[in-house]
Amino acid sequence: MKRYSAFAVVREALSYHMGWERAWASPEPKKKYDAIIIGAGGHGLATAYYLGKNHGIKNVAVLEKGWLGGGNTGRNTTIIRSNYLQDASAALYEKARSLYETMSQDLNYNVMFSPRGVIMLAQTEHEVRGYKRTAQANALQGVTTEFISPQRVKEIVPIINLDGPRYPVLGGLWQARGGTARHDAVAWGYARACSAMGMDVIQKCEVTSIRQEGGKVVGVSTNRGDIACDKLGIVVAGHSGHVADMAGFRLPIESVSLQALVSEPIKPCMDCVVMANTVHGYMSQSDKGEMVIGGGADGYNNYTQRGSFHHAEETVRALCETFPMVSRLKMLRQWGGIVDMTGDRSPILSKAPLDGVFINCGWGTGGFKAIPGSGWGFAELMARGYSPLTEQFGLDRFKEGRFIDESVAAGVAH
């Protein structure tokens, strides 16, 4: 596969852009693979990539029922941060954040990682205490964050209103190397790199059942025929309960719709990400100038990928308190994605009860930021049966009551 470079852009500009190759192949499924990953979202593709890159397992297929990144990966608000409270989470999310720093070079694909900084606003005394505690935990974990004053918040975000009618800004948890990346470029970059390694990324290929013999997985049935495999990774986010059911086990997750919206494009006005968890709304500005706004999750289980008007209204109303300029903006579009929520708001990266099957899910409202770290650890788990990154995130924690409680860091915002 030809490398992308500045020289390639110049060369193609001089030859009417006729020489670009397809970024990834569209092969027919083979009869058998060493490993199959169900789900071509960011986590599934990253897993395949690190299986090949770190463990030399390249006879791999990634099966996707729709299109690449068409699930939550292409629907999220792209916030990247690693300021979690518990040690196991901080290690996983910081690994991911550090991989984002070099992802464009590693994949030879511009994922537009923009470490513009993330502030989580403290708007109640409870949040002030909570975020100071997180800042101290992060210092011990080697994650660089700091608790900043309202004046410093105002310096970083001049458009903010510190004296909101209900919730004044009392400070914030600031992670200077947090930020955003282009979500679908992350999926495309991994897909291209997988394809270059000889892996098969197969779109419009829905897994309809999981085949087993003698207590071990032997393959899957799909709308394009049966495909055999030695190992199977289930990485399907909001559909995890449904696909786990095919392998005969149940998951402690609930699937709900989470939604987001964007405004009309405006001139640059905010060069960081701001999360206001108490009033519940968060915002960043895209490269096109649109204000990207994250809303709430539905309060009932469902599998819709739509938004609902009352959430859009609530979110915008809440943001108007903290950013009065939002009241003058027209909203362009809104959408939803099906997120998979666990009780402790931490992911599941685990061997499954059926031999040869592994499950990666439960990222809920905040898994985009984790994609490279999750892929790194989950590939190691699939290849070697153990990974220090995923060790704490097994399914057994729900039986043993060994929860990784991230409800403050991950329960509401992203």
Ligand X SMILES: Cc1cc2nc3c(=O)[nH]c(=O)nc-3n(C[C@H](O)[C@H](O)[C@H](O)COP(=O)(O)OP(=O)(O)OC[C@H]3O[C@@H](n4cnc5c(N)ncnc54)[C@H](O)[C@@H]3O)c2cc1C
As a whole number of angstroms, the distance between CA 89 and CA 86 comes to 5
- Quick one: which of 144, 171, 147, 143 has its CA closest to 86? 143
Stretch that binds ligand X, among 25-33, 39-47, 121-129, 308-316 (CB under 6 A): 39-47
Task: Tokens for 337, please give them.
Answer: 């994605």
Span between the terminal Cα atoms of the chain, in Å: 35
CA distance 11 to 395: 51
Site string for ligand X, 205-244 (x = CB under 6 A): -xx---------------------------xxx-x---x-
Nearer to ligand X, 122 or 260 (CB): 260
For the CB of residue 144, give the shortest distance to ligand X in the complex, in Å. Answer: 18
Residue 293 interacting with ligand X (CB under 6 A): no
Residue number, 1 or 228, with CB nearest to ligand X: 228
| Whether 112 contacts 185, CB under 8 Å | yes
Q: Are 266 and 291 in contact (CB under 8 A)?
A: yes
Among the listed ranges 72-80, 117-125, 384-392, 396-404, the one in contact with ligand X (CB under 6 A) is: 72-80
Considering the complex, state which of residue 345 and residue 414 has its C-beta at the smaller distance from ligand X: 414
Only segment of 18-26, 42-50, 106-114, 403-411 that touches ligand X (CB under 6 A)? 42-50
Choice between 85 and 236, CB closer to ligand X: 236
Q: Nearer Cβ to ligand X, position 104 or 365?
A: 365
Instruction: Select the residue interacting with ligand X from 85, 258, 279, 409 (CB under 6 A).
Output: 258
Q: How far is the CB of 61 from ligand X (least distance, A)?
A: 11
Nearer to ligand X, 243 or 382 (CB): 243
| Whole-number Cα distances in Å, 382 to 55, 219, 350, 378 | 10, 15, 9, 6
State yes or no: residue 33 binds ligand X (CB under 6 A).
no
The residue range among 67-75, 136-144, 149-157, 404-412 that interacts with ligand X, by the rule CB under 6 A, is: 67-75
Interface residues for ligand X in 81-140 (CB under 6 A)? none
Candidate ranges 75-83, 150-158, 377-385, 386-394; the one touching ligand X (CB under 6 A): 75-83
Decide: is 42 part of the binding site for ligand X (CB under 6 A). yes
In angstroms, rounded to a whole number, what is the distance separating the alpha carbons of residues 291 and 289?
Answer: 6
Please tell me the count of residues contacting ligand X according to CB under 6 A.
40
Q: How far apart are CA 304 and CA 340, in angstroms?
A: 13
Kindly tell me which residue out of 29, 70, 281, 296 binds ligand X, with binding defined by CB under 6 A. Answer: 70
Nearest to 231 by CA among 78, 51, 5: 51
Nearest to 36 by CA among 243, 188, 253: 243
Please identify, using beta-carbon distances, which residue of 177 and 414 lies nearer to ligand X: 414
Contact between 71 and ligand X (CB under 6 A)? yes
| Sequence-distant (≥ 6) Cβ neighbours of residue 314 within 8 angstroms | 280, 295, 296
Q: Is 159 helix (H, G, I), strand (E, B) or coil?
A: coil
Q: Looking up tokens 């679908």, which residue turns up?
A: 184
Do the beta carbons of residue 292 and residue 286 sit within 8 Å? yes
Please report how close the Cβ of residue 40 comes to ligand X at its closest, in angstroms: 6
77 or 278: whose CB is closer to ligand X?
Answer: 77
CB of 216 to ligand X, least distance (A): 20
With beta carbons less than 8 A apart as the criterion, state whether 339 and 291 touch.
no
Q: CA geometry: angle at 169 spanning 113 and 164, to 5°?
A: 115
Three-state SS string over 304-358 comes to CCCCCHHHHHHHHHHHHHHCHHHHHCCEEEEEEEEEEEECCCCCEEEECCCECEE
Site for ligand X in 334-393 (CB under 6 A): 337, 339, 363, 365-369
Tell me how far, at minimum, the Cβ of 347 lies from ligand X, in Å: 8
Which stretches of the chain bind ligand X, using CB under 6 A?
A: 38-44, 63-66, 70-73, 75-79, 206-207, 235-237, 239, 243, 258-260, 294, 337, 339, 363, 365-369, 414
